[in-house]
Amino acid sequence: MSSPAQPTQPYLAPEAMAATPLALRQSVAEAARTMHAWGCTPATSSNFSAREMGSAHFAISVSGLHKSKLTAEDFLEVDFQGTILNPEQAHLRPSAETLLHALVYQQFPETQTVLHSHSVNCTVLSKLYEADGGVWLKQFELLKAFEGITTHDIALWLPIFPNSQDMPALAQTVRTALPECLPVYGFLLAGHGLYTWGASPAQALRHAEAFEFLFESILKLRSHGYADYS
Ligand SMILES: [Zn+2]
């Protein structure tokens, strides 16, 4: 296999660079509540994180909380190995999927927010295309919601990985594959959910909303027998 491409992404949000850790967590908590209202975070599932630009650690939502009530207080500071950094938080439990957030921050240094959700549409779509290893998103006007994309006349690959409870192994699989998929704005875990990210909480939320729109569109096109999504 050729050496991984340098992971460059056509997005950057300079206005977000000066955000304080508290402001970032507040914005990410608000994004989580918004995604709950969309029906993307059922039954306490899903997790959300924020990182200050350039930091080697990040804040991730505490496991098991209902996302309709998530606040800036409900985050744990962890390093890229998932170790809790604040001894006062040692009794709390970070998400089991912390390593998947970490790999995104490590691979895409401009990332300040990672959003992970479990909508019905992303779950169904991920099962339908799991055997293909991903799905092409193409010829949709809403592709322009992804930072740096300026035309509908493009095909973006959304990779799909088999689900696993072995997070170190799963993280390694995703870490190896993502540089081959550039530009990439997210990935699916089959039968599980969506990861997407951005250089600010607002940008990440826009990407999540675009993905959800595209998932529903593709599922509807399939139900009508549309050839590209048969
Ligand atoms: Zn999950």
Using only C-alpha atoms, what is the Rg of the chain? 17
What spacing in Å lies between the alpha carbon of 207 and ligand 1's midpoint?
A: 17
Residues 159-173 have pLDDT tens digits of 999 999 999 999 999
Choose the weakest-confidence range: 27-31, 61-65, 83-87, 93-97: 93-97
What spacing in Å lies between the alpha carbon of 193 and ligand 1's midpoint?
A: 6
Domain boundaries along the sequence of the chain? 14-229
Closest-CA residue to 114 (of 122, 103, 126): 103
In the predicted structure, residue 220 carries a pLDDT above the cut 90: yes
The third-level CATH classification (topology) of the domain covering 14-229 is: L-fuculose-1-phosphate Aldolase (3.40.225)
Query: pTM of the prediction?
Result: 0.91
What spacing in Å lies between the alpha carbon of 191 and ligand 1's midpoint?
A: 10
**What's the pLDDT band for 1 if we cut at 50, 70, 90?**
very low
What spacing in Å lies between the alpha carbon of 192 and ligand 1's midpoint?
A: 6
> Which residues, in sequence order, are CB contacts of 194 under 8 Å at separation 6+?
40, 115, 116, 117, 118, 119, 122, 186, 187, 188, 208, 211
Average pLDDT of 96-107? 94
What pLDDT score was predicted for residue 67?
Answer: 87
